[in-house]
């Protein structure tokens, strides 16, 4: 059964692998945006970018897409290619954010969700909970978990995006799940 | 996508699992329509070239010129600042109540600008903006039921024009924001419109109006992402 039938939220249709797209068949930046922007945003959020920076980082992702799209050769699926760009941009952003924070002696970078005023408390609360849990993970494990469990990539795609052997991706997923399960079990134990 | 060799996903496991529940919730944590439209707006020219989907009449741009446009978009996002900059909640800004009254002068200024893009316009200006308006109007009359996202992009296109006019011709920018409030009374980019309108009023020397609108904005959109931008615009 496809993942989309098992979950209440649709993930983008996984497109057939593009084989050496020509200029005529290569999607435009607009098409990539229309189809994938929501998922790029979600990925950026779950990879640990502060709420107030998500729009900036997404913008950087699509500027990179624009720059690189002509060179997209279809060796990987478009979605895999796009997630790889996301990862690079997020990683670069975190490095810059870290440097800024170091220079500014650590003022918090996030001021909370941009649309928090319009969102129900439960949704914001749930988001904070998920993000707090994900923050417990090392970056490499977090990426694997987010791509597999939230974004719905296959493990093969995850390994491809991350650029690691399949076995490594499996190990990271396993470790990430264990860490989060332990954290949740700990929470439960400490609840009155 | 499912690969039979992959381990079961916790997020797709039907039985109760706290972690599975959280991960499923995370799958549903997508950006709002407004956030996406604002992002689309920020990307402006970058999305416009050769797109031909829902750009609301934005002219296609190609080749090397487009690369410059994309770069210019990014630069101007920072330079023009305002709502394109990622404001952090602070609390200031404008109202939509004051929006809809375009003066004849403003309308004329807007029309002129539309017809004759100024030489000082940013390179991102695709300003065959008239077709954009015409196309949008045609769509809105002939297709009363329009996809929300298409409307949002149409809105974005109109406000992108307003943003581009802001420095060179604030009267035109203001007129375009007034047009926006008339055409999209329930638009998803009302906040962005107000930010531009307030900045335009400031540039036109109409400080008292800008202040009123900013105060109204603060009341209407507490915690807005654009609060800082509006604050800057009203200084």
Q: Which residues 48-87 in chain A show a CB within 8 A of chain B?
A: 52-56, 58-59, 62-63, 66-67
Q: Token digits for B202?
A: 């400031």
- pLDDT classification of B98: cutoffs 50, 70, 90: very low
- Per this entry, what is the length of chain A? 192
Give A108's pLDDT tier (boundaries 50, 70, 90): very low
Dist. CA B52–CA B73, nearest whole Å:
19
**What is the pLDDT at residue A119?**
64
A106: confidence class by pLDDT, cuts 50, 70, 90: very low
Q: Do A9 and B14 touch (CB under 8 A)?
A: no
The predicted pLDDT at position B232 comes to 59
Assign B42 a pLDDT band (cuts: 50, 70, 90): confident
Q: Using alpha carbons, select from B235, B107, B104, B113 the residue that is nearest to residue B165.
A: B113
pTM beyond 0.95:
no
pLDDT digits (tens, 9 = 90+) for B123-171: 333 333 333 333 333 333 334 444 555 666 677 888 888 888 888 999 9
Residues B202, B166 contacting (CB under 8 angstroms): no
Averaged confidence pLDDT in chain A: 81
B15 touches chain A (CB under 8 A): no
Six token digits for residue A11: 């993930």
Q: For residues A119 and A27, give the distance between their C-alpha atoms in angstroms, rounded to a whole number.
A: 33
Question: With 50 as the cut, is the pLDDT of residue B110 above it?
Answer: no
In which region does residue B95 sit, left (phi positive, over 0), alpha (psi from -120 to 50) or beta (all else)? beta
pLDDT tens by residue, A41-73: 999 999 999 988 999 999 999 999 999 998 887
Query: Higher-confidence residue: A99 or B78?
Result: A99
Question: Is the per-residue pLDDT at B46 higher than 90?
Answer: no
B contacts of A6 (beta carbons < 8 Å): 9, 12, 14
Query: Mean pLDDT over residues B190-197, rounded?
Result: 87
Q: A116 to chain B: which residues are within 8 Å by CB?
A: 223
Does the CB of B108 have a partner CB in chain A at under 8 Å? no
B154 vs A128, residue with greater confidence: A128
> Does A2 contact B53 at a Cβ distance shorter than 8 Å?
no
Contact assignment for B9 to A148 by CB distance below 8 Å: yes
DSSP A18: P
The pLDDT of B177-183, averaged and rounded, is 93
The pLDDT confidence band at residue B43, using thresholds 50, 70 and 90, is confident
The CA distance from B109 to A179, in Å, is 62
Q: Residue B32 and residue A118: Cβ atoms within 8 Å? A: yes
A177 touching chain B per CB within 8 A: yes
B110/B27: higher pLDDT = B27
Mutate to test the interface with A, among B3, B5, B6 (most CBs of A within 10 A): B6
Mark yes or no for CB contact A28/B53 under 8 Å.
Answer: yes
Complex ipTM = 0.78
The answer to whether B26 contacts A130, with C-beta atoms less than 8 Å apart, is yes
Q: Per-residue pLDDT averaged across B29-58, rounded? A: 64
């Amino acid at each position: 059964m496809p993942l989309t039938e098992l979950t209440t939220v649709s993930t983008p249709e996984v497109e057939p692998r593009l084989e050496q797209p020509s200029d005529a068949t290569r999607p435009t930046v607009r098409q990539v945006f229309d189809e994938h922007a929501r998922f790029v945003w979600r990925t950026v959020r779950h990879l640990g970018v502060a709420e107030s920076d998500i729009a900036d980082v997404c913008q950087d992702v699509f500027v990179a897409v624009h720059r690189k799209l002509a060179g997209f050769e279809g060796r990987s699926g478009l979605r895999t290619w796009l997630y790889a760009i996301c990862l690079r941009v997020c990683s670069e952003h975190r490095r810059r954010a870290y440097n800024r924070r170091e220079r500014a002696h650590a003022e918090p970078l996030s001021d909370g969700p941009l649309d928090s005023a319009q969102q129900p408390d439960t949704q914001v609360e749930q988001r904070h909970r998920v993000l707090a849990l994900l923050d417990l993970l090392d970056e490499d494990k977090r990426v694997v978990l987010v791509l597999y469990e939230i974004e719905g990539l296959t493990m093969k795609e995850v390994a491809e995006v991350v650029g690691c052997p399949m076995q490594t991706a499996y190990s990271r997923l396993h470790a990430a799940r264990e860490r989060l399960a332990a954290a949740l079990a700990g929470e439960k134990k400490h609840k009155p | 996508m499912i690969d039979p060799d992959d381990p079961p996903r916790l997020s797709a496991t039907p039985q109760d699992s706290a972690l599975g529940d959280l991960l499923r919730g995370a799958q549903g944590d997508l950006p709002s329509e407004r956030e996406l439209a604002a992002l689309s707006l920020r990307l402006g020219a970058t999305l416009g070239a050769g797109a031909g989907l829902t750009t609301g009449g934005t002219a296609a741009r190609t080749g090397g010129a487009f690369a410059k446009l994309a770069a210019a978009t990014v630069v101007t996002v920072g330079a023009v600042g305002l709502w394109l900059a990622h404001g952090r909640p602070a609390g200031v800004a404008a109202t939509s109540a004051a929006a809809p009254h375009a003066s004849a002068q403003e309308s004329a200024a807007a029309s002129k600008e539309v017809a004759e893009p100024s030489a000082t316009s940013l390179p991102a200006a695709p300003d065959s903006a008239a077709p954009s308006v015409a196309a949008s109007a045609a769509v809105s009359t002939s297709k009363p039921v329009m996809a929300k996202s298409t409307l949002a992009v149409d809105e974005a296109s109109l406000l992108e024009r307003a943003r581009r006019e802001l420095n060179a011709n604030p009267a035109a920018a203001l007129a375009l924001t007034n047009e926006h409030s008339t055409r999209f009374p329930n638009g998803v980019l009302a906040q962005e419109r107000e930010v531009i309108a307030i900045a335009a009023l400031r540039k036109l020397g109409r400080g008292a109006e800008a202040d009123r609108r900013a105060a109204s904005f603060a009341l209407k959109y507490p915690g807005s992402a654009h609060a800082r931008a509006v604050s800057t615009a009203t200084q």
